[in-house]
Amino acid sequence: MTATSQPGYELVDFTDLPPVPCPCGQARRAFRDVADYPGTIHVTEISAEARLHYHKRLTETYYFLECGPDAKMQVDDQLLDVQPGVCIMIRPGTRHRAVGNMKVLIVVYPKFDPEDEWFDD
């Protein structure tokens, strides 16, 4: 199934979207080109090498779809245990990274902008 645009709705099959590298691993991003949708939706495969980063403008909401029993989310200086079904909203300016291999759904407002990824190192 490919992306479908009709009056009243937008439909996308994430398996049809090409993955792009990100500080977390590989992301498939939807609705970036939909003018009347205020954000983007990502399905991201988190790698063990995920980098600590933050955004100055973006709010991200992570919903954990798949992860191992030792999965964690680093939020500033805290390590939080996560498991499938857990959701965390991350405000602008909050340093974060997922720790461990996992698959997450990320809702981003406003629309994702790769220029708004910041690192301390």
Which residue range forms the structural domain that includes residue 85?
24-114
- What is the structure's pLDDT at 4? 75
Is the model's pLDDT at 33 over the cut of 70?
yes
Look at residue 73 and tell me if it is in a domain.
Answer: yes
- What is the structure's pLDDT at 2? 57
Q: What is the rounded CA–CA span in Å between residue 73 and residue 80? A: 5
Count of domains for the chain: 1
CATH number, domain containing residue 69: 2.60.120.10
Look at residue 120 and tell me if it is in a domain.
Answer: no
Look at residue 119 and tell me if it is in a domain.
Answer: no
The whole model's pTM is what?
A: 0.93
Which amino acid is residue 33, in one-letter code? D
- What is the structure's pLDDT at 54? 98
Site of tokens 């708004």 = 116
- pLDDT tens per residue, range 46-91: 998 899 999 999 999 999 999 999 999 999 999 999 999 999 999 9
- pLDDT tens per residue, range 100-119: 999 999 999 999 999 999 99
Look at residue 54 and tell me if it is in a domain.
Answer: yes
Which residues 6+ apart lie within 8 Å of 18 measured at CB? 28
pLDDT band at 3 (very low <50, low <70, confident <90, very high): low
